[in-house]
Amino acid sequence: MATALFYLFGAGALFSAANVVFRRQAVPAAIWLVTCFFFLAGEFLLLGFPFLAAIQIMVYVGAIMVLFLFVIMLLDLQAHQPIQSQFRHSIGGALALVLVALAFVAASGGQALEAENQPAAPEISALVEALFTRYLLPFEVTSVVLVAAIVGALTLGRSPGGSDHPAKS
């Protein structure tokens, strides 16, 4: 069962990812990316990390990709995009990259660990405890990064003169 699901999710993720590359229109590409994230969330579930799967769907699918779609629709990409022009040149590069991937896989071989023998994944409480003890510093730094991101996005989103900013209320 787990094996079948692994192949299903893995093949689904790779198929969707390939489709992201090959779609001409931006919106279908974004939708395939969303599907890919879903399959990856499935892999996380399969590995025994339901919390991470939920976060993956919430943040990636629920927020980041909505932002992507928003920008794509604002820019109306398919109207003026000869995006495929240099694509043929990159097929050779892609093949080379696939070889690199195979090398990665080969290099990682030799330590066949089975998931069935592993103890259950840690509970959320263990995760949270680690977050506020061992990972306290990265956690705080992340909050600083997020504040910086908010300020940055605000600065970028503000129109240069500030005059055509919509008046509040």
Partner 1 sequence: MEITWIRAALTLLVGFGLMMSLAAGMSLVERKLSAFIQERHGPNRVGPFGLLQPMADLIKFVFKEEYVPNSVNPLIYKLAPAIAAVPAMMTFAAIPFGFLDGQPLVIANINIGVLYVLAVGSLGIYGIILGGWSSNNKYSLLGGLRASAQMVSYEISLVLSLVAVIAVSGSLNMSEVVAAQDHHWNVFLQPVACLIFLVTMFAETNRHPFDFAECEPELVGGFHTEYAGMRFALFFLGEYIAMVVMSGLMAALFFGGCDVPFLDIADTPWWLGALAMLGKTAFFLLLFVWVRWTLPRFRYDQLMWLGWRVLLPLSLANLAITGLVLALLGPEGGHA
Partner 2 sequence: MPLEAYLAVAAVLFVIGLTMVASRRNLVYVLMGLELILNAANLNLVAFNRFHPESHVDGQMTALFVIILAAAEAAIALAIVLNAYSHFETIRPDDIDTMKD
Window 72-131: residues binding partner 1 (CB under 8 A): 73-74, 124
The verdict on 42 binding partner 2 (CB under 8 A) reads: no
Closer Cβ to partner 1, 20 or 57, answer by number:
57
Closer Cβ to partner 1, 61 or 83, answer by number:
61
Considering only 1, 79, 137, 157, the residue that binds partner 2 (CB under 8 A) is 157
Cα(147)–Cα(155) distance, integer angstroms: 12
Length of the chain: 169
Residue 168's binding partner among partner 2, partner 1, none (Cβ under 5 to 8 angstroms by kind) is partner 1
The verdict on 45 binding partner 2 (CB under 8 A) reads: no
Q: Which of 9, 18, 15, 11 is nearest to 38 (CA)?
A: 9
Considering only 25, 131, 140, 165, the residue that binds partner 2 (CB under 8 A) is 131
Piece of 11-19, 63-71, 90-98, 108-116 that binds partner 1 (CB under 8 A): 63-71
Q: Which of 62, 55, 31, 30 is nearest to 41 (CA)?
A: 55
Long-range contact set of residues 152-161: C-beta below 8 Å, sequence gap at least 24: none
Closer Cβ to partner 2, 12 or 169, answer by number:
12
Q: Kind and range of the H or E element at 145?
A: helix 136-157
Task: Tell me the C-alpha to C-alpha distance, in Å, between residue 31 and each of 56, 147, 167.
Answer: 16, 29, 35
Cα(26)–Cα(64) distance, integer angstroms: 15
Cα(77)–Cα(22) distance, integer angstroms: 15
Q: How far is the CB of 144 from partner 1 (least distance, A)?
A: 15
The verdict on 28 binding partner 2 (CB under 8 A) reads: no
* Residues near partner 1 (CB under 8 A): 27-28, 31, 34, 50-51, 54-55, 57-58, 61-63, 66-67, 69-70, 73-74, 124, 166-169
